[in-house]
Chains A and B, each alone.
Chain A
Amino acid sequence: MIRVEHLTVSYGAIVALTDVSLEANPGRVTAVLGANGAGKSTLLRTISGLVAPKGGDIFLGDRSIVSMATENIARLGVAHVPEGRGVIHELTIEENLRLGAFASKVDIGAGLEKQYEQFPILGDRRKKYCSTLSGGERQMLAMARALISEPQVLLLDEPSLGLAPQVTSELMNLILELCHASNLTVILVEQNAKSALRIAHDAVVLHLGAVVASGTAEAIANDKNLRHYYLGLVQ
């Protein structure tokens, strides 16, 4: 599980996160919502160690990971699918997947087979270069790559970006399924609040770097004030 305590992050003179705290637990999807620029991506990047915070602490289970290097955090079982998916186009599908397996002691052959079973399209085109994939396929690849190392924590940064509604819906269902099946701790950053709230158990709403609301997904979804100001949902 992931626990963030009083996190403050700034890029030079610009403050990105102020006193942000949240808790994400195994077997539950925690949605992080808010408008563009609210600090959602920064939050994930800080958890992953790409950004060093000015203040606050981050725990993976009992262990403080706030000053650890990114690759070490990944090796502890934190898988982060970044904004834009981070699929490396100059490599093949299989190479991208194999890259994902290094973080753990998982047997690569078995891991690959498992992901190809879960995502047959990837299996069919395993030797192809990623520049030929569609948006939905790229998302699949990014997910498979994150999952191949059998992580405990899954950080997803706007997975629905650029995807058609039908595909988004399937994707969300998949995320929920995986969360339950492997008892993952999932932190889901989304601008598409509606789809995120449909599958989330808990939710946190950020606005200009600060937490303005947190609670169960149901409570957040039903709160009229939030819906109007921060989530852009139609009344």
Chain B
Amino acid sequence: MSQFLSSAMMHNIFAGLAQGVIYSLVALSLVIIWQSTHVLNFAQGAMAMFASYVGMTEIDRGLNYWLCIVVSVVVGLLFGGFTERVLIRPLYGKPEINAIVVTVGLLGVLEAVAQALWTSTTRNIATPLSQIYFHDQGRLVLLSPFVIFQFTLAIAIMLIVAGLFRFTDLGLQLRASALAPEVARLLGVRVNRMLTFGWMLSAAVGTVAAVIVASGSFGLYPSDMDGILIAGFIAAVVGGLDSPVGAVIGGLLIGLTEQFILSYWSADLAPLGGIILLVVALMIRPQGLFTKSVSRRV
């Protein structure tokens, strides 16, 4: 057994999954925002990065790791809500390109401000969970307590989000607010609150992803989330923008694809894993591999 777990193949699989989890979380945050507002936040990665940077400065002041995650997530939440209320709300009813462009602008501003405030050096937080890989009978298994924590966290969040949208009244109201806001209003749904909540929830999940990156061995730098956002976006598209489960699977698939490209071809080309998967998936099933909806809204 331990020989199997420490084989090169399993090393690649574990490494790919660990990276994939991060993409999954970002993809989840994009699914949340799509399901609640039908807007895609291109600044998602940058917002998450910013929020976790705020959390990280607290660690420098000696705050406990877990509390810092909470601080970061709360900052992310507030940021998401603020963005919806101030920047996106005025754009409902306008062509969708307007909202896309505004979020792209926000992306630029946040990265520039982050670099101005904290420079572009990588920052890292020390985690109480060990990142040292396990050794089973002397052989290396590419799992550590922290990696296991990552997986568990991602699965837990995915289940909560899927459950929220599928089974709860709140989830129903969120979906209705995105699908048919006028009809929802006529039914008494407080659509504006749903939209803000959707942004807040999405930002919170995205921030968790950024915190995990910051906690990892490579740390986080301001433009780090760009690539991760793109991968998360591809994961969400591949999985289907209305499927939390699809988003997670998509993210893991991209992580694995990248890892195998890195292992068997070239490290430089690893970022292409996502785009290759995207093209293939779009050719097979343009609306997403896991989505239920057969027709796209006209």
Closest to B185 in A: A70
| Of A50, A90, A104, A145, the contact of B182 (CB 8 Å cutoff) | A50
CB 8 Å contact bits of A190-209 with B (1 = contact, 0 = none): 00000000000000000000
Return chain B residues, CB-CB under 8 Å to A88: 176, 179-180, 183
Contact present for B180 and A131 (CB under 8 Å): no
Question: With A88-B176, A91-B175 as given contacts, are A102 and B189 in contact (CB-CB < 8 Å)?
Answer: yes
Distance (whole angstroms) from the CB of B73 to the closest CB of chain A: 28
Contact present for A99 and B189 (CB under 8 Å): yes
Chief secondary structure at chain B's binding surface = helix
CB of A82 within 8 Å of the partner chain = yes
Contact present for B179 and A74 (CB under 8 Å): no
CB of B259 within 8 Å of the partner chain = no
Taken together as a complex, chains A and B put the C-alpha atoms of A100 and B189 apart, in Å, by 9
CB 8 Å contact bits of A46-62 with B (1 = contact, 0 = none): 00101000000000000
Contact present for A74 and B185 (CB under 8 Å): yes
Return chain B residues, CB-CB under 8 Å to A95: 172
Distance (whole angstroms) from the CB of A220 to the closest CB of chain B: 28
Return chain A residues, CB-CB under 8 Å to B297: 90
Return chain B residues, CB-CB under 8 Å to A99: 172-173, 176, 184, 187, 189
Size bin of chain A's contact surface: 20 to 34
Return chain A residues, CB-CB under 8 Å to B295: 131
Return chain A residues, CB-CB under 8 Å to B169: 98, 102
Return chain B residues, CB-CB under 8 Å to A218: none
CB of A227 within 8 Å of the partner chain = no
CB within 8 Å of B: which A150-199 residues: none
Return chain B residues, CB-CB under 8 Å to A40: none
Return chain B residues, CB-CB under 8 Å to A19: none
Distance (whole angstroms) from the CB of A114 to the closest CB of chain B: 17
Question: With A82-B182, A90-B179, A131-B295 as given contacts, are A103 and B172 in contact (CB-CB < 8 Å)?
Answer: no
Binding site for A on B (CB under 8 A): 169, 172-173, 175-176, 179-180, 182-191, 293, 295, 297
Known contacts A50-B182, A91-B176, A99-B172, then 18 further A-B pairs from the complex at CB < 8 Å, ordered by chain A residue: A50-B185, A50-B186, A70-B185, A71-B188, A80-B186, A82-B182, A86-B182, A86-B183, A88-B176, A88-B179, A88-B180, A88-B183, A90-B293, A90-B297, A91-B179, A99-B189, A100-B187, A102-B169
